[in-house]
Each structure stands twice: as C-alpha cells, then as structure tokens.
Amino acid sequence: MDPLSLTANLIALLDTTGKLISYCYQYQSGVRHASQDAKKIRVEATGLLGTLQRLLSISEDEEERQTARLPALQALAQPNGLLTQCQTELTSLVTKMKPK
C-alpha cells in the first residue's frame, strides 16, 4: 500500500475515533448515572487517538520523502489488516454510542 493510502486510512480512523470520544462525552453529560463503561471507552479511545496521530505523522513524513521505509506500518494498512479491523470495531461502537 502506498503512503497516501495509508494516510487516508489513518485520517478515516482519526475521524471515527473523534466521533466516538464526542459521543461518549455527550452520553456522560446527558445521563445522570452514566455507565463507567462509557468513561472507559472514552479513555481508551483518547489513547488510541494519540497513537493514530503519531502514526499519521510518521506516514506523512514517509509520503513527503516518497519512501516506504516502514514495512510494518504498511502491513497495518493491508486489506483486512489491523487498521481495517480497528475501523470496523470503532464504527460499531460509534453506531451504539450515537445519540438517538
């Protein structure tokens, strides 16, 4: 996978993670005795957001240099790779947390 595709995947993941964090905050502020699960999800998603931002920075550096020196990073973005699996799980959580 080329660095541009990797960057696009990471941006999509960042967007989905941001939505999840936002929905968790909305849930916690709107429900009097909000579930601790929502707080745990928010904390974990916030940590994931930081990791994804760092990966995006690395990917953008690779794109600028027009290199693909990090095969492990490229492997994450393969079809049915970890980034795809992560996007699937995050999308499922966003659907469940989305305010009705």
The per-residue pLDDT of the chain, averaged, comes to 86
Q: Where are the alpha helices (DSSP H) in 31-100?
A: 36-65, 71-76, 82-97
Write the pLDDT tens digit of every residue in 79-91. 888 899 999 999 9
Q: What does the CA dihedral 44, 45, 46, 49 come to, rounded to 10 degrees?
A: 130
pLDDT of residue 92: 95
Q: In the predicted model, is pLDDT for residue 65 greater than 70?
A: yes
Give me the pLDDT at residue 58, please.
Answer: 86
**Which amino acid does the sequence have at 63?**
E
- 18-48: pLDDT as tens digits: 999 999 988 888 777 777 888 899 999 999 9
Q: Return all residues near 19 (Cβ < 8 A) that are at least 6 apart.
A: 94, 98
